[in-house]
Amino acid sequence: MKITFAAAMPASPPRLQVRLAAQGALPAGVSDLVAQGAAAARFTGKTAQLFESFVEGDGALVRLVLAGTGESKAEGRGDALERAGAAIAAKFLTSGEKSVLLDLDGAGLNAEECARLLMGLRLRAWRHDAYRTRLKEEQKRSLDDALVLNAPDGAEAAWQVEQAVAEGVEFTRELVAEPANVIYPESFVERCARRFEGSGAELVVLDEAQMSDLGMGALLGVAQGSTRAPRLLAIKWMGGKPADKPLALVGKGVTFDTGGISIKPAAGMEDMKWDMGGAGAVAGAMLALARRKAKANVVGICGLVENMPDGNAQRPGDVVTTMSGQTVEVINTDAEGRLVLCDVLTWTQRTFDPARIVDLATLTGAIIISLGHEHAGMFSNDDALSGDLDAAGKAIGEKLWRFPLSAEYDKLINSPIADMKNTGPRYGGSITAAQFLQRFIENGTPWAHLDIAGMVWADKPGATWDKGATGYGVRLLDRFVRTTLEG
């Protein structure tokens, strides 16, 4: 959605016009008739509540909408405004209207609050229609533009920053929503190369031969059953001080996961196109940082493979040697994400010597059993890092819940024939997966692992997303960078 700002009402304004209403207070200038209609419809200005009416404006029909923003002094005001913007998009996306005018006169917003309103509007307006060829006219998206009138001072500049973040979220959604015959390791890299062109970010790509030379036996073991060649993609944004060590963001990018020889049940396997949601989030976050010219040094690394069960596929019981030199007994080929990440983590540390590492992965179904679709799981060896991530998530509504790590859990992945095995017992599956990754963190580097399996895809619409890819993780990482590296 294109969002522009205007200092005065245009000569031919959009027919669809929106005014904001705090709870219990209609905006100034609303006619008695509209006020009576709102009362009759029990509109009170609650967050994301909408009331639609038709009025005359300068001899033309105006489709007037009141959008509730909740209590004006309430905590979480930004979140309420975001939900209000999203409600407008959800209601009128297929309404036949091409443009909407947001008149903020008397709304009492500051620049940041205005940007949150627009963020909700834009994010909820995103929809993946690339393969829909038989939509009826009333099902097609029509709303493409928004015009902001009477915006507070600084709002346009604030939106320029947030617009970059919105672009990052949309890019992540695009990558996650695409089917696996369209997005696979090589095409993931190609799409990133196109999207990052002119951004100032540097992309580095390792192919299968280069990874083999580096000894990435765990990652390559996952990839060996597929005709799709694996790739390692690093995106470098060095916008901070030259002497500062970078923050490393690491993403699991299994572009399709059959489970390999330990094959998954057929029912629901189509969902495994989004098993690259961690890599998608890292790519989107890096795009956001590059687009808004973040004053920080950040590298995003994506381990990209496809996990398939052909005659060359890795077998349960195989032993692989990781880039770190540690060996892994592969008990279950469907516990493949950690095999990808362990080599990527080693390469990241030895290449960039990062100050901190945050990895994101759709790693375990067990995390969904624990947390449902309300929180991502967080595991960390550093209290300060986990606290910073938790605060960032709360600030923008991408919530985390920290889980324990300990020697008692770690011993559950000891192997009788190798340094470790890639799965533990049935219970505590998300924790033992994190314990596995922790064995590849070197020199006490502060590290956090985010298990986002329950968050990257939604079976029903949410506040700022339609059914499908959510874009989870981009805003969390962007806010984390702002508060810890730019604040």
Q: Which residues are catalytic?
A: 264, 338
In the chain, how many H helices and how many E strands?
14, 19
| 405 in Cβ contact with 435 (< 8 Å) | yes
Find the helix or strand (DSSP H, E) in which 204 lies: strand 202-206
CB atoms within 10 A of CB 425: 9
DSSP string, 341-367: HHHHHHHHHHHH--SEEEEEE---SHH
Report the distance separating Cα 476 and Cα 484, nearest Å.
Answer: 12
Report the distance separating Cα 174 and Cα 171, nearest Å.
Answer: 5
| 152 in Cβ contact with 104 (< 8 Å) | yes
- Name residue, tokens 């060896």: 381
| 319 in Cβ contact with 268 (< 8 Å) | no
Residue 306's DSSP bridge partners are 256
| 239 in Cβ contact with 294 (< 8 Å) | yes
372 backbone dihedrals φ, ψ, rounded to 5°: 65, -140
| DSSP conformational letter for 264 | P
